[in-house]
Structure 1
Amino acid sequence: MSTLPKHMPALDGLRGVAILMVILHHAAEGRYGALAIYERSGSLPMLQLPEWLSAIAENGMHGVQLFFVVSAFTLTCRMSQNGGSLAHYALRRLARIGPGYWIALLGYGALAGFGPTLRAPDGLSPMDLLIGALFGSVWQGGAALAVVPGGWSISCEVAFYVALPVILVVLDGRLLRALLLCAVATLLALQLQLRGEAAGTWTFEAFVNPLAQAPVFVFGVAAALAARRFGWRPPPGLALALVAMLALLPAAHNVVFAMIAAAATALAARRPPALLASRPLRAVGEVSYSMYLVHFALALPCLEIAERVAPRSDWTTLAVSFPLLVMASFAVALVTHRWIEKPFIIWAGRFGSAPAPYAASGFAAPPPSTVPEVGRA
Structure 2
Amino acid sequence: MRPALTLFARFAGLSTGVAERAPDNRIAVLDAARAFAIVGVIAVHLGLWMPALPPWLNVVSELGQYGVQLFFVISAVTVSYTLEADERRYGASLQIVARRFYIKRFVRIAPLYYAAIVVYGVLDYLAHLAHGQITLQHHASDVMANLLFIHGWLPTSINSVVPGGWSIGVEMSFYALAPFVLYASRTARGLWMTGLLMLICGASIAVMGACSAGVQCHIENNEFFYFWLPVQVPCFVFGLWLARFGMPLLTGSRRLPWRALLALVLAGFACLTLVYEFGAGAELAHGLAPSAAGLAAVCMLIVASHLPVRWLKAPLVASFGQQSYGVYLWSAAAVALVRALLKTPVGTALKHFPTLGFLFALALVSALSYAAALVTTRWIDRPCGAWARRLLLAHGTQDARRHPAPGAGGEPVE
**How many equivalent pairs are there?**
346
Letter in 2 for 1:328: L
- Among 207, 212, 236, the alignment partner of 2:231 is 212
Structure 1: any 5+ residue segments left out of the alignment? 31-45, 358-363
Cα pair distance change 1:145/1:165, threshold 3 Å: same
- Residues 344 and 6 of structure 1: is their aligned pair in 2 closer, same or farther, counting only changes over 3 Å? closer
- Partner of residue 70, structure 1: 74
Q: How does 1:87-236 map to 2 (within 5 A)?
A: 87-113=99-125, 120=136, 123-172=137-186, 174-192=187-205, 196=210, 199-200=216-217, 202-203=219-220, 204-228=223-247, 232-234=254-256
- In structure 1, what residue type is equivalent to 2:374? L
Partner Cα distance (2:104, 2:146) in 1: 20
CA contact (8 A) 1:9 1:276 kept: yes
Asked if the contact 1:48–1:315 (Cα under 8 Å) also holds between the matched residues in 2, the reply is no
Map of 1:292 onto structure 2: 328
Residues 83-139 of structure 1 deviation map (CA, whole Å, 9 limit, x = unaligned)? 36222221111110111000100010011039796974xx32221111111111111
Instruction: Provide the C-alpha distance between the structure 2 equivalents of 1:156 and 1:234, rounded to a whole number of angstroms.
Output: 33
SS in structure 2 of the partner of residue 15 of structure 1: helix
1:336 pairs, out of 373, 376, 379, with 376
Q: Distance in 1 between matches of 2:384 and 2:269?
A: 36
Q: Which residue of 2 aligns with 1:41?
A: none
Greater CA drift, 216-225 or 184-193: 184-193
User: Structure 1 50/175 Cα, relative in aligned 2: closer, same or farther at 3 Å?
Assistant: farther
1:276 aligns with 2:312: yes
Q: Pick which of 296-305 and 281-290 moved more.
A: 296-305
* Distance (whole Å) between structure 1 residues aligned to residue 306 and residue 407 of structure 2: 19
- Give matches, 1:215-364, under 5 Å: 215-228=234-247, 232-234=254-256, 238=261, 251=275, 252=278, 253-266=289-302, 268=304, 274-306=310-342, 307-350=347-390, 351-352=392-393, 353-354=395-396
> Could you tell me which residue of structure 2 aligns to residue 42 of structure 1?
none
SS at structure 2 position matched to 1:171: coil
Aligned to 1:36: none
- 1:35 aligned partner: none
Q: Structure 1 328/229 Cα, relative in aligned 2: closer, same or farther at 3 Å?
A: closer
Aligned with 1:12 (options 17, 31, 47): 31
Residues 182 and 144 from structure 1, CA distance in 2 versus in 1: closer, same or farther, beyond 3 angstroms?
A: closer
CA contact (8 A) 2:35 2:318 kept: yes
Is the alpha carbon distance of 1:232 and 1:101 closer, same or farther for their aligned partners in structure 2, counting shifts above 3 Å? same
Distance 2:307 2:27 in 1: 8
Change (3 A) 1:6 1:127: closer
TM-score by length of 2: 0.73
**2:124–2:134 contact (8 Å) kept in structure 1:** no
Q: Relative contact order, CA 8 A, sep 6+: which one is greater?
A: 1
Q: Alpha-carbon deviation of 1:56?
A: 1.1
* In structure 1, distance between residues paired with 2:337 and 2:397: 49
- For the residue of structure 2 that corresponds to 1:49, the secondary structure is coil
Structure 1 range deviating more: 138-147 or 152-161: 138-147
Letter of the 2:326 partner, please give it: S
TM-aligned CA distance change 1:87 to 1:183, over 3 Å: closer
Shift of residue 337, structure 1, vs aligned partner: 1.4
Contact 2:29 2:312 in 1 (8 A): yes
Q: Measure the CA separation in 1 of the matches of 2:188 and 2:167.
A: 27
Contact 2:268 2:300 in 1 (8 A): no
- The equivalent residue for 1:24 is 43
CA distance in 2, matches of 1:312, 1:244: 35
* Number of the residue aligned with 1:34: none
In the alignment, the residues of structure 2 paired with residue 271 and residue 319 of structure 1 have an alpha-carbon distance, to the nearest angstrom, of 25
2:73–2:235 CA contact under 8 A, matched in 1: yes
Over residues 259-281 of structure 1, what are the superposed CA-to-partner deviations in whole Å (9 max), with x where a residue is unaligned? 23134435656876543332221
TM-score, scaled relative to structure 1? 0.79
Counterpart code for 2:105: R
Indicate the larger mover: 85-94 or 283-292: 85-94
How far, CA to CA, are the matches of 2:235 and 2:308 in structure 1?
A: 22
- What residue identity is the alignment partner of 1:90? Y
Is the alpha carbon distance of 1:74 and 1:322 closer, same or farther for their aligned partners in structure 2, counting shifts above 3 Å? Answer: same
Quick one: which amino acid aligns to residue 13 of structure 1? A
Q: Which has the larger radius of gyration?
A: 2
CA shift for structure 1 position 310: 1.2
Query: Separation in 1 of the partners of 2:254 and 2:271?
Result: 25
Counterpart in the other structure of 2:65? 61
**Contact 1:9/1:272 (8 A) holds in 2:** no
Alignment RMSD (CA, Å):
3.7
- 1:294 and 1:332 in contact (8 A); partners too: yes
Matches of 1:316 and 1:366 in 2, distance apart?
57
